[in-house]
Amino acid sequence: MFILSENPPAIPVALQQRSPSSTLLVVYPPIGHSTTAAQIFLIGSAPAAGEVLVNGKRIRRSTTGNFSPSFPLAVGENKFVVEYSGQSKTIVVVRTLAQPELPIDGFAKDSLYPNVPIARLPGELICLSAIAPPNSTVTARLGQQSLPLVPDASTTILADNLSVLTGKLDAQAVTGKYQACTQLSSQNTTSSQNTTLGAPIYELKLPDRPTIRETAKGTIDVLDPARLTTVEVTASPGVARTGSDTEFARLTPLPKGVRDRVTGKDGIWQRLSYGGWIKETETQIVSRSGVPVESLVSGVTSRLLSDWTELRIPLQIPVPITVNQTDRTVHLTLHHTISQAGIQRLVNNPTISHVTWQQITPTQMQYTLHLKTNQAWGYKTRYEGNLLVLSLKNPPTLTNNISANNLKGSNLKGIKIVLDPGHGSSEDLGSVGNGGIPEKDVTIVVSKLLRDRLTKRGATVIMTREGDDDIGPNERAQLIAKVEPTIALSIHYNALPDAGDAEKTQGVSAFWYHPQSQSLAQFLHDYVTQKLDRKSDSVFWNNLALTRPTVAPSVLIELGYMINPEEYTWITNPVQQNRLADTLADGIEAWLRSR
Ligand SMILES: [Zn+2]
């Protein structure tokens, strides 16, 4: 399954019952499929002998009879009649416009800002906006202020993440948006408390039409900077983001216990004073005193455990943190923190060479942990009351330092590996290949073959699923966090969004997120493509549930395209699956020995 999309295309569940091999099979698009793409691929198969026609024209097929041709789509209904040897299937695909059509005589639905209650500090800009027909005169009333809104032709939305796969990266122009900005002040109130400006009321005038008045769904509050509430993170960990929506990038997760003041709100999202946004449900209010969260730091100690080396930093209050890895360092930034440059005690350990620090801004101090090895093996953070603990995983020790050309007889004793066969259950098939076999059935077969090989070499292998279980990506990631393996590998097969070229797209790709995982992703990608002569679909950086764990190098690998006519045949061939498992086991061991 291509995993860049939050909303993968629907896959017909009925496909699980395989059709007899003499029949024409069309596995995609499903019945009632609607898309904004300008083209669509038809994925399916029929016996190799004979011809498959689409709308009367013969299509290209693999030697095994698979087909994945793409066809342009007109806006509206598109009909495809697929024929093979007297059998016929009709598929209707509806193409809709990417941008909803502009309203003719009023505001576009839900287009009045804000849609949810928001709060900001005095002095911040608030930009009111609405989508209205061309030639409208739009004004908005906010508190005592009346603002004329101007049409904004320059606004663009960025192409979505899926475009990285199809190469169509052009941003789209948005039309019909009217906006005006105003700087918030709390001067109107004499008492020291939050000011409520209420919901903006928008007015729309079109020539020869009655004036339309509509109130935005959300209200606007101006916070009193001297009386901000302080919240504590109750989730373990709290998910911090760069903005008030899950579309925004993740920041370093906030360990349970972190405290900070709330400087803004967007519906259920709160902006914390250090800059990150977090959901209300992941925090609780601990104070309304308005006293800032600030800490001094002086002495630092450390502790060596069997698997981890800990840096222990006593603080006055659990401040928000940011962790940033580079090749041979880990930077730990403490927000709202001022250093008093006390003494540091670093125990003898196999992981951290030395620790340096810097006051990077008047309110942010940063520790830099310099590693002894080229490879970082994992990290985690926690608060024990006011004590911040940053743990770095100690490197694994491999027995039998044998030569690279005799890997098979070697020993992976002491190495713990989490294998994650992607997808599972009738709810989550992953992508479905030309012949009707779903991705989840291939990932479990290959994962078990790989597990057996790794176990034979002495490794301890923990699988996220053994059967056809329905496990969400976050549950799988939590297992990795709990097991704290040497490495974690998630096994997937790929597909494309509708605009892609399924007939021509093949290859292996690997995904990493934290720098400690980059080398493993690149190595396995190179190893599989070279040893098995598979095409490369490149190595990606991406923040995915299964690349996000920090306790170990964690990689997600896509071992080919389920929907490519030729690659599907290779993917589902049992002999090739065994070769692939051999190669992955060799690759994992070779990488471990190279680090
Ligand atoms: Zn997948």
Q: What's the token pair of residue 466?
A: 């053994």
Rounded to whole angstroms, how far apart are CA atoms 531 and 529?
6
Q: What's the token pair of residue 15?
A: 């496909």
CA of 425 to the centre of ligand 1 (A): 13
CA of 315 to the centre of ligand 1 (A): 43
Instruction: Give yes or no for a contact between 421 and 491, defined as CB atoms under 8 angstroms apart.
Output: yes
pTM of the full predicted structure? 0.89
Query: Which residues are within 5 Å of ligand 1 (an ion), measured at CB?
Result: 1, 422, 430, 492
Residue 417, classified by CB atoms within 10 Å of its CB into exposed (0-12), middle (13-18) or buried (19+), is: buried
pLDDT band at 8 (very low <50, low <70, confident <90, very high): very low
Rounded to whole angstroms, how far apart are CA atoms 27 and 29?
6
Highest-confidence range of 134-148, 183-197, 505-519, by mean pLDDT? 505-519
pLDDT, mean of residues 59-81: 97
Rounded to whole angstroms, how far apart are CA atoms 342 and 313?
11
CA of 236 to the centre of ligand 1 (A): 27
Sequence letter at residue 480:
I
Q: What is the pLDDT of residues 202-233, one digit of tens each?
A: 999 999 899 999 999 999 999 999 999 999 99
Check residue 101 and give its pLDDT. Answer: 67
Kindly report the backbone phi and psi dihedral angles of residue 145, in degrees, each rounded to the nearest multiple of 5, phi listed first. -95, 140
Instruction: With residue 593 as reference, give the H or E element that holds it.
Output: helix 574-594
- For residue 521, pLDDT beyond 50: yes
Check residue 194 and give its pLDDT. Answer: 77
Q: What's the token pair of residue 521?
A: 């992703």
CA of 439 to the centre of ligand 1 (A): 7
Rounded to whole angstroms, how far apart are CA atoms 36 and 73?
9
> What percentage of the chain has pLDDT greater than the value 90?
83
- For residue 57, pLDDT beyond 50: yes
Sequence letter at residue 120:
R
Rounded to whole angstroms, how far apart are CA atoms 256 and 236?
5
Rounded to whole angstroms, how far apart are CA atoms 567 and 564?
5
Cβ neighbours of residue 13 under 8 Å, at least 6 residues apart?
Answer: 426, 429
CA of 60 to the centre of ligand 1 (A): 26
Rounded to whole angstroms, how far apart are CA atoms 35 and 7?
12
Helices (H), 114-233: 163-166
Vertex 449: Cα angle to 443 and 455 (nearest 5): 125
What letters, b where the CB count within 10 A reaches 16 and e where it falls short, cover 84-113? beeeebebebebeeeeeeebeeebbeebbb
Q: What is the pLDDT of residues 230-258, one digit of tens each?
A: 999 999 999 999 999 999 999 999 999 99
CA of 482 to the centre of ligand 1 (A): 23
Cβ neighbours of residue 255 under 8 Å, at least 6 residues apart?
Answer: 233, 236, 237, 238, 318, 321, 381, 382, 383, 388
pLDDT band at 443 (very low <50, low <70, confident <90, very high): very high
CA of 56 to the centre of ligand 1 (A): 34
- Report how far apart the first and last C-alpha atoms of the chain are (Å, whole number): 30
CA of 210 to the centre of ligand 1 (A): 53
Check residue 405 and give its pLDDT. Answer: 46
Residue 403, classified by CB atoms within 10 Å of its CB into exposed (0-12), middle (13-18) or buried (19+), is: exposed
CA of 171 to the centre of ligand 1 (A): 27
Instruction: Give yes or no for a contact between 243 and 231, defined as CB atoms under 8 angstroms apart.
Output: no
CA of 373 to the centre of ligand 1 (A): 33
- Strands of 52-54's sheet, edge to edge? 33-35, 87-95, 76-84, 52-54, 57-58
Q: Which residues pair with 421 in a beta bridge?
A: 491
